[in-house]
Amino acid sequence: MTELRVFGARFANPVLFAAGTAGFGEPVVATISPAEVGGLVTKSVTLEPRRGNPAPRVTEFRGGMLNSLGLANPGLEVVRKEKLPWMARRLGEMIVFLSVAGRTPDEYVEVVSALEAEGGFLGFELNLSCPNDVHRRGRPFCLDPPAMRDVLDRVRPLTDRPLLAKLAPNDPAVAATAALAVRHGADGITAVNTIPGYLPARGARRALGAGSGGTSGPAILPVGLAAVREIAAAVDVPVVGVGGIVSDSGARAYLDAGASLVQVGTGSFADPRCAARLARRLARRSEAVP
């Protein structure tokens, strides 16, 4: 198979674990060999530890799942002192992106500045699109162009590492947002995050403690594909496709739509080996093509 180089790095295959769906790699080493999957995007890291939203924080429906984790994560210091050294020891050649989130541009700056000098990862994926975590004006950064620009303008000078901007599916101008992110320093675009969603209570129990959340899984595959297709036509940096991939045909559809890499999220909850399985199947298919 020909070598896959993206963002200046060699990937074993184009399949990555999506942010927030494989922690800091713990479930990866518990279920597969890290060499089976091209990479991992970590849970989004924030300046302070976050306990997240009240339970229940995930619920299922026929097309996928709804979550309102609220970016529960151990915070910058634990990631620096414990998670990064563990990942460097245990994840081998697997390419790691650190996902970063914040409520203000200053928070992104603090997290990136503190982690930039550490080893064990290739680049940063800026989570600018979490429906469960909005900035002061009540929107995710990517749906507020001046705010998104501010984050990128502040973060870009802090690092020479690849910087990915993760965008939202409910953006009526996603291609323009991607082009703006690239003009302000993004080396790649990840599309898409979850799409805002709500499910009714079952009996006396609310579907989600926070009320509403983000929809993921097979139901959003066409939404992600449409976004990637539009973005790939508008920018000349690599696009990373994510949303609803649970099979090699879903991954292939993203690659055909213009993605250079793909990520698997919800698919790993249903089957922790999903990403490895579809990476293997993609490789077989590409070997079969002359």
Ligand X SMILES: Cc1cc2nc3c(=O)[nH]c(=O)nc-3n(C[C@H](O)[C@H](O)[C@H](O)COP(=O)(O)O)c2cc1C
Catalytic residue annotation: 130
Cross-strand partners of 39 = 16, 95
Q: 197: exposed, middle or buried (C-beta count within 10 Å: 0-12, 13-18, 19+)?
A: buried
Dihedral pair phi/psi, residue 89, rounded to 5°:
-75, -40
User: What string marks each residue from 143 to 182 as x (binds ligand X by CB under 6 A) or -?
Assistant: -----------------------x----------------
Dihedral pair phi/psi, residue 287, rounded to 5°:
-70, -30
- Least separation in angstroms between CB 224 and ligand X: 7
**Position 98 contacts ligand X (CB under 6 A):** no
- Which one of 21, 170, 177, 260 is in contact with ligand X (CB under 6 A)? 21
- Which residue, 64 or 258, has its beta carbon nearer to ligand X? 64
Q: 209: exposed, middle or buried (C-beta count within 10 Å: 0-12, 13-18, 19+)?
A: middle
**Position 59 contacts ligand X (CB under 6 A):** no
**Position 267 contacts ligand X (CB under 6 A):** yes
Is residue 259 within 8 Å of 239, Cβ to Cβ? yes
- Which one of 87, 151, 227, 242 is in contact with ligand X (CB under 6 A)? 242
Q: Taking CB under 6 A as the criterion, which residues in 203-222 touch ligand X?
A: 216-217, 220
- Least separation in angstroms between CB 151 and ligand X: 14
Amino acid at 161: R
- Which one of 6, 12, 18, 182 is in contact with ligand X (CB under 6 A)? 18
- Tokens standing for residue 210: 């926070």
- Which one of 34, 140, 243, 258 is in contact with ligand X (CB under 6 A)? 243
**Position 264 contacts ligand X (CB under 6 A):** yes
**Position 43 contacts ligand X (CB under 6 A):** yes
- Which one of 99, 170, 177, 260 is in contact with ligand X (CB under 6 A)? 99
Specify the residue for token string 């298919």. 285
The alpha-helical segments, DSSP class H, found in 91-220 are 105-116, 145-155, 174-183
With contacts defined by CB under 6 A, name the span among 26-34, 135-143, 144-152, 264-272 that binds ligand X.
Answer: 264-272
Is residue 280 within 8 Å of 38, Cβ to Cβ? no
Beta strands in 42-186 (DSSP E): 58-61, 64-67, 95-100, 123-127, 163-167
**Position 67 contacts ligand X (CB under 6 A):** yes
Residues at the site binding ligand X, with contacts judged by CB under 6 A: 18-21, 43-44, 58, 65, 67, 69, 71, 99, 127, 130, 166, 193-194, 216-217, 220, 242-245, 264-267
